[in-house]
Structure 1
Amino acid sequence: MLNSWTIFGAVCISLFNLQTVNCLIDPISLAVGAGALAGAYTGFGFFKEQTYCRMTECCNDRSIPADITKLKGLLQKNLYGQHIVIQQLISALEAHFHRHSKSRKPLVMSFHGTPGTGKNYVADMIAESLYEKGVKSRFVHKYMGRLHFSLSQNVAEYNRFIRDDVVNGITDCARSLFIFDEVDKMPQGVFESLASLVDYNSLPNNLDGTKAIFIFISNTAGVQISDQLAKMLKSGELRENIKLSAFEQILEKASYNLDGGLKKASLIEQHVIDHYIPFLPLEKAHVHKCIETEYAKWDRRPQKNAIESLLQDVITFDRTHGLFATSGCKTIEKKVATEVWNNSNSISEG
């Protein structure tokens, strides 16, 4: 049993950080006291895990399960026409969370594609799979270009805001997720402060940000992706066999040269972005699957003619190639909900 001198010694160590204090404790009692204090801290950590962290969100494995298997299942079940996204994303996240990973920087990914191809959908699925509370987790930070960073004259202010928010977020939890949406709607230069933070973990106060994830979402290069895909399809290549390498340089070059938050950005110049991921434009067959999925959410199995009718109402094809749905699956959810509601009212009135 610890005597009162040992306990007092531990308190002296705790309160005065071994500064010259008139504690009058012999070296043996002092050493035992230090061990007792370390044990107390360990015990408090265990107590916190079993009490406080069971009632609220903590930066631990319970609140951040990082369930990549769940994510893979969600993507395979709900995402259509995006084999490159699934392959690249799962590999990148598995490597990032591997216990032997020795990366010196956070994982940084940039999503590109036309509207309705699933970019935001996938970002939300990532949050739902990595965090127990999903997109509502306090460790998930999401920013919208038109809402948060819309004015070019405020770039300096935006840089300070991003820097402070990222530092505070990683201070709160090293495994935080930062999602920047509508990057193409942001002014040039908005991410300059972020580049210095993310590039090889150069965070202040010895913070470790290597387990954080940054995702940039943009419509930038959507046209270039469509042109490249159409060219390859018309040359006889199968969509499912097309690889990431066919798009990476196109995306990097377009991001750097076209208007938006990444134009001439140090994030690109310093090669901070690890993965440029293309979301391919959707064809009629993919939109057909989106419609079936939305009907299934309402426990409905529509007739083939009902789906075809809806397809005619919602699909317009790109004028250049005549292959791709211009809005992808973006409007499908509301269209199907309206159809189901109208049919339900018709039945009840009949």
Structure 2
Amino acid sequence: MDVVKFIVFCGLFSMISGIEPISAIGAIGTAVVAGIYTVFTPIKCHFHECCTSNWINLNTTVLREDLQRRLYGQHLVSNVVIKYLKSHMTKEPSRALALSFHGGTGTGKNYVSKIIAESIYRNGMRSKYVHLISATKEYPHKDMVPLYKDKLRELVENSVKECAQSLFIFDEIDKMPPGIIDTLKPYLDYYEQLAGVDYRNAMFLFLSNTAGEEITKHTLTKWQSESLREDIGLNEMERIISKATINTKTSGMYHSDLIIKHLITAYVPFLPMERKHIRQCIKDFLVAKNYYKRQDISEDAVRKISEELNYHPADLEVYSVTGCKRVPEKVDYIMEDYQE
């Protein structure tokens, strides 16, 4: 039955049953609009991003392969991220996921966040359901904390109403004024609903340099005792991180309810990067920038680029001061000489 026949049928039915024709037409119009919306929504979502499994779907295989192929020296990160994300997105979660990434500069915190977004959202970091919040950009003034709290509350509530599986990435949280992050407490707690909204499918990533020194110190102690890097366990690192985070006065997590109330799902340590890890990063950039094909990479070029970076502690020079962060600029700098 087409739309015209349907309207005529309903008009006749309204006359027979005593329903006012105008009321019937209004009801018919509503039904037609609803029908059109039902028919065209799947078509719209075929071309435009929607909060559906066609656009949001964790690909565990891709996530595992990307972490193994693109992340170096971070065995704890790979295990934690894969297990918690898989559990959160394939089972009915009891609350929102909150992973707190800790480590020094260039150890891969932002890199892993990007890999996570790419493995869940078809549009990756460009997805309208992925929200990157830079603390230094969004919260620069310590005397405006009440306003920042209201803005953050509005962002989370509006975003989750639009899509339950929203992802929030808080970068440089160690530079966030204390108190703001506690705005998230209700959304991370064990509530089935808040004002009719279910926040349990949302995901939060907190990126911080806090505890970076403590992580490096512990890793170096293990190295000096000739223990394998891969033998460092998550439990020992989580204790170190949580203690440093809650007691660092300059951290956005200082005395935070998220820590006190145990609302952080896991503290994820990013270990300092050794020279061998830096060499792997260098090779990746040499290929990515088309200086070499993988099989033709010059080991002499890799050595010269790695020597342009600084390492610590001064007497041992075991770990890169900036991780892989400065590798791209050093690659271009050294390769200028090679090209000439």
TM-score bucket of the superposed structures, by smaller chain: 0.7 to 0.9
1:10-44 deviation line (CA, Å, top 9, x unaligned):
99xxxxxxxxxx8479xxxx9xx99x96x995884
1:277 aligns to what? 268
Q: In 1, distance between residues paired with 2:284 and 2:12? A: 66
Q: Does structure 1 residue 104 correspond to structure 2 residue 94?
A: yes
- 1:333 positional shift: 1.5
1:180/1:3 CA distance change after superposition, 3 Å: closer
The AA in structure 2 aligned to 1:68 is T
1:16 aligns to what? none
The AA in structure 1 aligned to 2:264 is I
Q: In 2, distance between residues paired with 1:56 and 1:194? A: 30
Q: Does structure 1 residue 60 correspond to structure 2 residue 52?
A: yes
1:311 aligns to what? 306
1:151-196 deviation line (CA, Å, top 9, x unaligned):
2111111111111100011011111100000011111111122112
Q: In 2, distance between residues paired with 1:338 and 1:273? A: 41
Q: Does structure 1 residue 118 correspond to structure 2 residue 113?
A: no
Q: Does structure 1 residue 48 correspond to structure 2 residue 41?
A: yes
Q: In 1, distance between residues paired with 2:222 and 2:13? A: 71
- 1:119 positional shift: 0.4
* Secondary structure of the structure 2 residue equivalent to 1:277: strand
1:184 aligns to what? 174
1:40/1:113 CA distance change after superposition, 3 Å: same
Please say if residues 66 and 130 of structure 1, whose CA atoms lie closer than 8 Å, have aligned partners that are also in contact: yes
* Secondary structure of the structure 1 residue equivalent to 2:170: strand
Q: How does 1:1-350 map to 2 (within 5 A)?
A: 7=10, 23=19, 44-45=37-38, 47-49=40-42, 51-98=43-90, 101-201=91-191, 204-258=194-248, 259-299=250-290, 300=292, 301-319=296-314, 322-344=317-339, 346=340
The AA in structure 2 aligned to 1:48 is T
1:267/1:202 CA distance change after superposition, 3 Å: farther
Q: In 2, distance between residues paired with 1:223 and 1:81? A: 17
1:207/1:271 CA distance change after superposition, 3 Å: same
1:131/1:8 CA distance change after superposition, 3 Å: farther
Please say if residues 230 and 321 of structure 1, whose CA atoms lie closer than 8 Å, have aligned partners that are also in contact: no
1:303-344 deviation line (CA, Å, top 9, x unaligned):
222211111111322337642111111100222134345534
Q: In 1, distance between residues paired with 2:36 and 2:230? A: 53
Q: In 2, distance between residues paired with 1:312 and 1:70? A: 33
- 1:65 positional shift: 2.5
Please say if residues 160 and 199 of structure 2, whose CA atoms lie closer than 8 Å, have aligned partners that are also in contact: yes
1:50-108 deviation line (CA, Å, top 9, x unaligned):
x111121100111112222111111111100001000110001110111xx23221110
* Secondary structure of the structure 1 residue equivalent to 2:190: helix
1:304/1:7 CA distance change after superposition, 3 Å: same
Q: In 2, distance between residues paired with 1:182 and 1:10? A: 65
The AA in structure 2 aligned to 1:206 is G
The AA in structure 2 aligned to 1:67 is N
- 1:208 positional shift: 1.4
Aligned-residue Cα RMSD (Å) equals 2.7
In structure 2, runs of 5+ residues without a counterpart are none
The AA in structure 1 aligned to 2:266 is H
- 1:4 positional shift: 5.7
- 1:224 positional shift: 0.5
- 1:204 positional shift: 3.6
**Identity rate of aligned residues, in percent?**
32
Q: In 1, distance between residues paired with 2:337 and 2:311? A: 23
Please say if residues 132 and 169 of structure 2, whose CA atoms lie closer than 8 Å, have aligned partners that are also in contact: yes
TM-score, structure 1 as length reference: 0.85
The AA in structure 2 aligned to 1:93 is L
The AA in structure 1 aligned to 2:267 is Y
- 1:202 positional shift: 6.5
TM-score, structure 2 as length reference: 0.87
Please say if residues 105 and 210 of structure 1, whose CA atoms lie closer than 8 Å, have aligned partners that are also in contact: yes
* Secondary structure of the structure 2 residue equivalent to 1:87: helix
